[in-house]
Amino acid sequence: MPAALAISGLAKSFDRPVVKSVDLTIRPGEFYALLGPNGAGKTTILRMVAGLLKPDAGAISIFGIDALADPVAAKQRMAWVSDEPMVYDRLTPLEYLDFVAGLWQVEPARARAAAHELVDWLGLRPHANELCGGFSKGMLQKVALAGALVHDPQLIILDEPLTGLDAGSARQVKDVLRQRTASGVTVIMTTHILEVAERMAERIGVIAEGRLIAEGTLAELRTRIGRETTLEEIFLDLVAEGTEQGQDAA
């Protein structure tokens, strides 16, 4: 079976190199967290995977599909959830989900069932028939997540999905993601909430200055650091070890 996501030699520069020859392989059903300091290049990597930004170099394969050569086929297998939710103000959550399902040509009865299930899972039922225009950012984030999942993607790519959510909403989103991975779906997400990476991710990748500087299970990362400590300490040590700034400070 091909990898859910295989990236090799991925590179991108803006006014300077931001992603520098990143290789990453995620197996089907895996929950993978991408950590890294602000500006490390995490979002840029995910935007390239989601087909929103053209890499300068490298290859991206999604379940064996060359995402650069056949972006439409690749996009059908994945969902992209940005940290800036884009939802239509003049639609209710159910109307929005119906609209998105239509774009994906999901069979109407299946789409309706999926929409109602997501609305319930994400606690949107009391607002299911209200216009999204009046929603808080957290509620919009949940509607956007529901929209991304309505076509049953096999790879879910999320950029900071829990930022700004209250405890109850964060729990609902985590439960939806857990439920999806339990049924074999692959998840890759960026987060600054180390506890989320620690509790939810099977493997963690650390990006610093555009490079993947470390990767593994929490136990593997601990072994690499050589002491029994928290993910926060591991993260700070790895970043210090893997960046010019950190090396200068050491």
Ligand X SMILES: Nc1ncnc2c1ncn2[C@@H]1O[C@H](COP(=O)(O)OP(=O)(O)OP(=O)(O)O)[C@@H](O)[C@H]1O
Per-residue binding letters, 136-165, with ligand X (x by CB under 6 A):
------------------------------
Give the residue, chosen from 4, 5, 7, 18, that forms a contact with ligand X under the rule CB under 6 A: 18
Residue nearer to ligand X on the CB measure, 8 or 163: 163
Q: Tell me how far, at minimum, the Cβ of 45 lies from ligand X, in Å.
A: 7
* Angstrom distance (rounded) from CA 66 to CA 4: 12
Query: Which helix (H) or strand (E) covers residue 208, if one does?
Result: strand 203-208
Cβ distance to ligand X smaller for residue 43 or 243? 43
Task: Report in angstroms how near the CB of residue 9 gets to ligand X at its nearest.
Answer: 17
Min CB(157)–ligand X separation in Å = 13
Least distance (Å) between residue 80 CB and ligand X: 14
Do residues 228 and 199 touch, judged by C-beta distance below 8 A?
A: no
Q: In terms of CB distance, is 41 or 246 closer to ligand X?
A: 41
Query: Residue 37 CB, nearest distance to ligand X (Å)?
Result: 7
90 is an interface residue for ligand X by CB under 6 A: no
Q: Which residue has the tokens 């493997």?
A: 203
Q: What is the DSSP string of 12-70?
A: EESSSEEEEEEEEEE-TT-EEEEE--TTSSHHHHHHHHTTSS--SEEEEEETTEETTT-
Per-residue mark of binding to ligand X, 27-66 (x: CB under 6 A): ---------x-xxxxxxx----------------------
- DSSP three-state, residue 158: strand
Give the per-residue contact string, 61-80, with ligand X (x = CB under 6 A; - = no): --------------------
* Strand, coil or helix: 81: strand
Going by their DSSP bridges, the two strands 155-159 and 57-62 should be labelled as unpaired
In whole angstroms, the minimum distance from the beta carbon of 28 to ligand X comes to 25
For the chain, helix, strand, coil in percent to 5 are 45, 25, 35
Which residues contact ligand X (rule: CB under 6 A)? Answer: 14, 18, 36, 38-44
